[in-house]
Chains A and B, each alone.
Chain A
């Protein structure tokens, strides 16, 4: 965040709504009418009661236009075009309004450019983003290297068992840059999977492993579909096809990592029991009186302040689990067009009704690191 030159293009913020070209923003049809200026106040007040613009809070109710430099003409947004609200119709009747259908932009503008385009249709309000999660406005070189480092570790984990790729999750306390939990998918138990791999005769060696990493990083997933069959978040329904072995369908990497971080919390702060608010208040008061820094008061709430690194974009179950556990930022390497919930199929970071919001980033690692490793291994093998 220091200066724009040090921002790496390889860590991409994935925003709360799909991005559109400013002039191609989605619109909705609304019912509007030209009104007399003296009626504006009364009408707006009445309409805000009978037909509030629930999902169009960014849209202004009144549009002012100057015709031929003469006196201004006011248009009033009555309601969505699809709604035939009785109250609105009554208002139209009593004020003898002649209505027309027009378009307004569906989503609030996220940039000045978008806003300029929006106002050409119908005026909207624009609030520049006031995010306080670091990284949204860019990463310094140092921060980028740290993100790449953790992501490399995560991709290594995801490809560490021979002949297969799974999802991996690494939870990092961002205040100390310390890994507090990491896990791979545990949907299908490893021993039986190893059997399956050898049965199918998949060549399993170090080089193969690296090739998979390269595939993963290249995003050339189409050619390697079978390799990702075991990535739980990509194929969450596939566990049932397993004909043998043991199987825990919900033990996706992120769910397991959350479980490990919770276990760590219980171990580090064993005495922290659920207390009634009154008791807790008393304890906190006595804490602050003594010196304000008991170990308990340093205990974070769930994963507040933690980042999670995932090899694959999480599915809806895992993405929502990370909302519940109050993760601060999510970094993932490969998008998940099959079941991804952070932009591919769903976009949980854009669901405003949720009580917690994390920032989401896609990370493309500098792939030459892995290519070189592959080349090194090849040279070493032939020499």
Chain B
């Protein structure tokens, strides 16, 4: 832990606060913040149960907030893309395959995550959507696959314990489990 910059820990704590907010609202506790030039410009947390839309993950919430914001500010797509390319994401759990793809599409600069996601992870666990394919000429680069730097394991145990308390209380929106809920760790 000590090897991470103090700043990284501070931003991850804010992401954990978001995750905790999700937990309080009976959502899967994953949260994130997006940082530009050292400043938090967006935050998000899981809203899948509230919206009944299972794609409303923390990352999608935060990205959509920024897209809407920048739309209102009259930014052109090129400008939006330039802004995203300066952004760093801090998220409590490894982005799933959907979110990892989305982060690549918007061209985010970097991502830090807490715990790994060995069922759905799109940043190395199941697929590696954060790696770019090859060096391309600048003319083609703009419209081709974008990679982003990805670092995991920041305050992972805090992220895991939030998830654990959620699954112990049970996902209120999931269908009836076939097996009884586990009470132990």
Contacts and interface: CB of A to CB of B under 8 A. Distances in A.
Contacts of B96: 320, 324
Given A241-B142, A317-B98, A326-B54, A274 B173 contact: yes
Interface string B108-136: 00000000001110100011010000000
B97 A320 contact: yes
A240 B52 contact: no
Contacts of A255: 55
Interface residues of B, number: 51
Contacts of B142: 237, 240-241
Interface stretch (B32-40, B70-78, B153-161): B70-78
A280 B49 CA distance: 14
B61 to A, nearest CB: 11
B146 A274 contact: no
Given A262-B53, A316-B98, A317-B98, A240 B80 contact: yes
B60 interface: yes
A324 B67 CA distance: 23
Contacts of A242: 76-78
B169 interface: yes
Nearest to B127: A346
Contacts of A239: 77, 81, 105
B115 to A, nearest CB: 15
B105 A236 contact: yes
Nearest to A232: B105
A326 to B, nearest CB: 7
A353 B106 contact: no
B183 interface: no
Interface of B: 25-27, 48-55, 60, 63-64, 67, 71, 76-78, 80-81, 96-102, 104-107, 118-120, 122, 126-127, 129, 142-146, 169-170, 172-175, 181
Closest 7 pairs (CB-CB, A-B): A240-B81, A320-B98, A262-B53, A317-B101, A324-B54, A247-B77, A320-B97
Interface of A: 188, 235-250, 255, 258-259, 262, 265-266, 272, 274-277, 280, 301-302, 304, 315-321, 323-326, 339, 346, 348, 351, 353-355
